[in-house]
Structure 1
Amino acid sequence: MYYKLLADLTVAIHFGYVAFVVLGVPLTMAGAVLGWGWVRNRWFRGIHLAMILVVVLEAWAGVTCPLTTLEKDFRSAAGGQAYQGDFIANWLHDAMFFDLEPWAFTVGYTLFGAWVVANLVFVAPRWRQSS
């Protein structure tokens, strides 16, 4: 029971991680156009960059995401239960995982990471507080 709950919680955290990384780029671009000051916050931009760099480096190294491994371990400890009857966990899981070759993910993550880095140039963060 607890392992299934932990697996579902891990999926939700993983989904949050993915959502922050993916939505950070269009929000930054929109914020630059609309004058949203928070999109230039150095902490937001630094954390966003670090998060996508972790994903890119994992892909290049051929490392499975630790959150994916943790979820699988929890599901296994719960008796290998599938997502039957658990709509939210099933939906979150299906929204994140696609059936593609590993090289396609590596290319996709790398291109997305490059887009994040390009945003650092085109929508420069405020590195110093204005006085």
Structure 2
Amino acid sequence: MNPTLAAALADAILVLHVGIVAFVIFGAIAIFIGRTRWRWVRGFGWRIAHVLLMVLIALQAWLGALCPLTVWEQALRRRAGQASYGESFIEHWLSRLIFFDAPWWTFVAAYSAFAALVIAAWFFVPPRRRRDQTLR
């Protein structure tokens, strides 16, 4: 693979990764803020994707596994001849936004706590299926 293409794909994966992080974090915030204002925060498909993604993230942390997006990005950076997290503008700034240098147990604790919050949101702000929404 061409090193330039590998670097571009690594940047694209990083952008996707940041988008997923934003979806999980801002989605949880939106659920609590918009529970009485925004009908979309109770959408069943959206909520099931949100809770399953967060449970998967917490499970990966408990198993000590890296996110597949991180693995793919790192492999592409090596193929591009780049040091991890140090070459392009996009990669430089976005990686600092979502990657932190901390002991592994802090990530397990943080992901587990956030997964508990997302699961709790399922019960405190329950999703509705389409026919449930028409009953209101």
Q: TM-score range by the shorter chain?
A: over 0.9
For each residue in 1:55-75, what CA deviation from the matched residue of structure 2 results, as whole angstroms up to 9, or x when unmatched? 011001110111101000000
State the match for 2:31 in structure 1. 28
The residue aligned with 2:50 is 48
Inter-partner Cα distance in structure 2 for 1:65 and 1:94: 16
Aligned-pair RMSD on alpha carbons?
1.3
CA distance in 1, matches of 2:81, 2:93: 20
In the superposition, the TM-score normalised over structure 2's length comes to 0.90
Give the aligned partner of residue 110 of structure 2.
108
Q: Normalising by structure 1, what TM-score?
A: 0.93
Q: 1:38 aligns with which of 15, 24, 40?
A: 40
Q: Is it true that 1:127 corresponds to 2:129 in the alignment?
A: yes
Q: Distance in 2 between matches of 1:15 and 1:108?
A: 17
- Taking only the aligned residue pairs, the percentage that are identical comes to 37
Distance in 2 separating the partners of 1:8 and 1:28: 30
Secondary structure of 2:97 counterpart: helix
Q: Which consecutive unaligned segments of at least 5 residues does structure 1 have? A: none
Pair 1:78-2:85 in alignment: no
Moved over 4 A (4+): none
1:92 to 90, 94, 103: 94
List alignment gaps of at least 5 residues for structure 2: none
CA distance in 2, matches of 1:116, 1:128: 21
How many residues in Structure 1 have an aligned counterpart in Structure 2?
129
Task: Write the letter of the residue equivalent to 1:16.
Answer: G
Letter of the 1:38 partner, please give it.
W
